[in-house]
Amino acid sequence: PEEEDWREKRLALIRRYEAAEKREDFIKEEKITEILARTADPPRAAVAEVLSKARELHGLNPEEAAVLLNCRDAEVWEEIFATARQIKEAVYGNRIVLFAPLYISSPCVNNCAYCGFRHTNAAVNKRTLTAEELAAEVRILTQNGHKRLIVVYGEHPVSDIDFMCRTIEKIYATKNGRGEIRRVNVNAAPLTVAEYRQLKEVGIGTYQVFQETYHHETYRKMHPANTLKGSYRWRLFALHRAMEAGIDDVAIGVLFGLYDWRFEVLGLICHALDLEREFGVGPHTISFPRLEPALNTPVASAPPYPVSDADFKKVIAVLRCAVPYTGLILTCRERPTLRREVIPLGVSQTDAGSRIAVGGYAQMAREHIPDRQQFQLGDTRSLDEFIRELCEDGYIPSFCTAGYRAGRTGCHFMSFAKKGLVKNFCLPNAVLTFKEYLLDYATPATREIGEKTIAAYVERFAQQMPQRAAVLKEMLTRMEAGERD
Ligand code: SAM
Ligand code: SF4
């Protein structure tokens, strides 16, 4: 009865919001469909023109992005991929930011057709971490070297706003010798402005809400009408409310496989443009999860609009061209070989060593805990193993959160990024946090290749910016002598 009472109150709140919210819906389905039809099978010259605009790093409008999405020529796609790689290199350099998901509570009052945690799915055992269990999970993550988390909650009275605030405070307070979590991002249900303010108070990083699908009819099919998640508009403006509450960094996403991927990419771009129009700053990151199988969940095992690996690459490349200053997040949903292939196309952040069952890190030894997971992961390698591969591929893994502490969030980050400073300031910071990882957490094999990666970077940096490189070298030496961030 308590759960039902809470759900009813929340539903009434959403209904009041729906009646009062006057903002115009920025997803115009007919317009998106018309743009896609108008730009079908574009000539090479049209694609070339869009690519040359993309290289100016001012982003693309939906029409321009549609020209790329509609390209059918494999040779021309190679040019699109090459442009995406160039843009990634120009804005982010070879830095990849690493984080881990932390599932805190899985009970959920919603019934999303694709999710293992849905209310009526009795096959998945749902639970909530106790304070002690939460601290234990955080300690395992920090012992492995993690500094950034995304915490995940189902929508349920056990994980209401007060619970969220308490658990986030607990994470920041859980120290482990030198290890500590420095940035907690959140993936949870849409909230009211007042609730977002509470989260800002406890110092969260980014707030993520994925629209799942921008296509109204598909949204209705996947999210039953009488559930909290059944309101498309409550969700569509979730991040507008977060920004109104003063949360600088918000993150959008689509669950690919529910509807046509070309339509969804344009939906993401429209969403990003609307946030930019209203708040002067677009989303901090975009996520593009694909549906993964989940226990007793037929929609997840047989997606209505499956996205092939080849099309998944196109999604990433077009997003990189269209929103050059927005971070792109790849997750461990994808298999190791594919992750390696798509990172160069524009990914700036990814998770590693992840577990997505509530209490999953304490049970690391067991590869899969199907009866507690939201869905199945494609990459269960350790953080160390993944970092080794990144180094082999020439990347600098970063645990850096310095930018956030220096106030480089929201529109500050955008203006910083637009001046091309991410490369010059974030890369040296990335190197320092990576050095810390190598000294404190890495296996000997990873340390060996990691040190070579750092040495090669410092040498290149010395040629471009000798004075800053000298400072960096001195800081690296001080770290070897025991100093830390
Ligand atoms: N309950 C909150 C919500 O739905 O917004 C936040 C957490 S939910 C656990 C996080 C995300 O997982 C969802 O937004 C959805 O995109 C993704 N997800 C759900 N089921 C999935 C599946 N079978 N495969 C891949 N991703 C899935
Ligand atoms: Fe609940 Fe989120 Fe899963 Fe939907 S996706 S059932 S809201 S946990």
Pairwise CA distance, residues 29 & 453, whole Å: 47
Averaged pLDDT score across all residues of the chain: 93
Q: What is the mean pLDDT of residues 177-195?
A: 94
pLDDT the model gives residue 96: 95
| More confident of the two residues 355 and 373 | 355
Contacts of 148 (CB under 8 A, 6+ apart): 97, 98, 99, 100, 181, 182, 183, 184, 185, 205, 399, 401
| Number of the ligand 1 atom closest to the C-alpha atom of 287 | 16
Q: What is the mean pLDDT of residues 150-154?
A: 98
Confidence of residue 441 (pLDDT cuts 50, 70, 90): very high
Confidence of residue 328 (pLDDT cuts 50, 70, 90): very high
Pairwise CA distance, residues 274 & 248, whole Å: 15
**Amino acid, res. 463:** Q
| Residue bearing the CA closest to ligand 1, atom 5 | 189
Give per-residue pLDDT as tens, 287-315. 999 999 999 999 999 999 999 999 999 99
CA of 212 to the centre of ligand 1 (A): 8
| Residue bearing the CA closest to ligand 2, atom 8 | 154
CA of 330 to the centre of ligand 1 (A): 14
| More confident of the two residues 366 and 372 | 372
pLDDT the model gives residue 372: 76
Confidence of residue 421 (pLDDT cuts 50, 70, 90): low
pLDDT the model gives residue 248: 92
**Does ipTM exceed 0.95?**
yes
pLDDT the model gives residue 410: 58
Give per-residue pLDDT as tens, 190-230. 999 999 999 999 999 999 999 999 999 999 999 999 999 99
CA of 348 to the centre of ligand 1 (A): 21
Give the residue, out of 118, 128, 210, with the most ligand 1 atoms within 8 A of its beta carbon, to mutate for a pocket test: 210
Confidence of residue 241 (pLDDT cuts 50, 70, 90): very high
CA of 110 to the centre of ligand 2 (A): 6
pLDDT over threshold 60, residue 408: no
Confidence of residue 420 (pLDDT cuts 50, 70, 90): low
pLDDT over threshold 60, residue 146: yes
pLDDT over threshold 90, residue 45: yes
Pairwise CA distance, residues 345 & 83, whole Å: 9
Pocket lined around ligand 2, Cβ cut-off 6 Å: 108, 110, 112, 115, 117-118, 154-155, 229
pLDDT the model gives residue 411: 58
Q: Range with the lowest mean pLDDT among 177-181, 263-267, 339-343?
A: 177-181
Contact criterion met (CB below 8 Å) for 165 and 204: no
| Residue bearing the CA closest to ligand 1, atom 6 | 188
CA of 115 to the centre of ligand 1 (A): 6
Q: Range with the lowest mean pLDDT among 14-18, 104-108, 209-213, 399-403?
A: 399-403
Residue showing tokens 């994470």: 171
| Number of the ligand 1 atom closest to the C-alpha atom of 292 | 24
Q: What is the mean pLDDT of residues 233-257?
A: 97
pLDDT the model gives residue 215: 98
pTM (two decimals) = 0.96
CB atoms near residue 74 (< 10 Å) = 8
Question: b or e along 194-214 (b: 16 or more beta carbons within 10 Å of the residue's beta carbon)?
Answer: ebbbbbeebebbbbbbbbbbb
Pairwise CA distance, residues 244 & 416, whole Å: 22
Pocket lined around ligand 1, Cβ cut-off 6 Å: 108, 114-115, 117, 152, 154-155, 187-189, 209-210, 212, 255, 289, 291-292, 294, 300, 333, 374-375
| Number of the ligand 2 atom closest to the C-alpha atom of 152 | 8
Pairwise CA distance, residues 284 & 453, whole Å: 28
Q: What is the mean pLDDT of residues 374-392?
A: 94
Q: What is the mean pLDDT of residues 25-53?
A: 97
Ligand approaching nearest to the C-alpha of 239: 1
| Number of the ligand 1 atom closest to the C-alpha atom of 294 | 23
pLDDT the model gives residue 427: 82
pLDDT the model gives residue 422: 65
User: Three-state secondary structure along 78-92?
Assistant: HHHHHHHHHHHHHHH
| Residue bearing the CA closest to ligand 2, atom 7 | 110
Which tokens is 364 given? Answer: 């690391």
CA of 163 to the centre of ligand 1 (A): 20
pLDDT the model gives residue 426: 75
| Residue bearing the CA closest to ligand 1, atom 18 | 115
Give per-residue pLDDT as tens, 350-360. 999 999 999 99
| Residue bearing the CA closest to ligand 1, atom 26 | 291
pLDDT the model gives residue 409: 63
| Residue bearing the CA closest to ligand 2, atom 4 | 112
pLDDT over threshold 80, residue 368: no
| Number of the ligand 1 atom closest to the C-alpha atom of 212 | 16
